[in-house]
Amino acid sequence: MDHNIAEGPTLADIHAVLEAFEPLTAQSADIGEFTAPAIDGPDAGDDMWFFYADEVIDWIQALHDHHMTLDFQGDHEWELFVRHYVGDPMLLESVDLETIRKVLTDALRWEGEVPGHLMAMFDQGVIHAAMRRLRVLGEPTETVAPADATQ
């Protein structure tokens, strides 16, 4: 499914994603755990992996199902844009929907490269900040317009 900016999420999509995230809002929410590589046996020497709790998997699926992710644009400009917000999650308090989508897409994309990356984004407050902003954007008084083309 092609998730480009033109076919962004509706308010119903935003609400579905927020509902899927609800079990993860508590500070003590179980995100998952690392598993150590096997010492012997058929899996000996495998890399360490992070196993996410079912609630995280459900939220990730909701992000995909409800048009919250974008086709990854693996270029330097995308990387700089997202790192700006990852470095200071408080900046996410006033961004538009497309920025939230880029930050979430980037967090999921890097999980495939670096096990535990998404967990780190939770720990650093990036995911919670993005979801708080999404909650505001999902209110009927906010507009859910695409990002300015200059971003």
Per-residue pLDDT tens digits for 118-137: 988 998 999 999 999 999 99
Q: What is the pLDDT of residue 70?
A: 87
**Burial (CB count within 10 angstroms: exposed 0-12, middle 13-18, buried 19+), residue 146:** middle
Q: How many CB atoms lie within 10 A of CB 141?
A: 5
Query: Which has the higher per-residue pLDDT, 27 or 105?
Result: 105
Express each pLDDT in 1-58 by its tens digit. Answer: 343 444 679 999 999 999 999 999 876 677 877 676 655 666 555 566 778 889 999 9
Q: What is the pLDDT of residue 130?
A: 96
Q: What is the pTM of this model?
A: 0.78
CA angle 104, 142, 138 (to 5 degrees): 45
Q: Which residues pair with 35 in a beta bridge?
A: 49
Give the contacts of 31 (CB within 8 A, at least 6 positions apart): 24, 52, 53, 56, 119, 122
CA distance 113 to 43: 20
CA distance 7 to 71: 12
Q: Is the pLDDT of residue 143 over 90?
A: no
Going by their DSSP bridges, the two strands 49-52 and 32-35 should be labelled as antiparallel
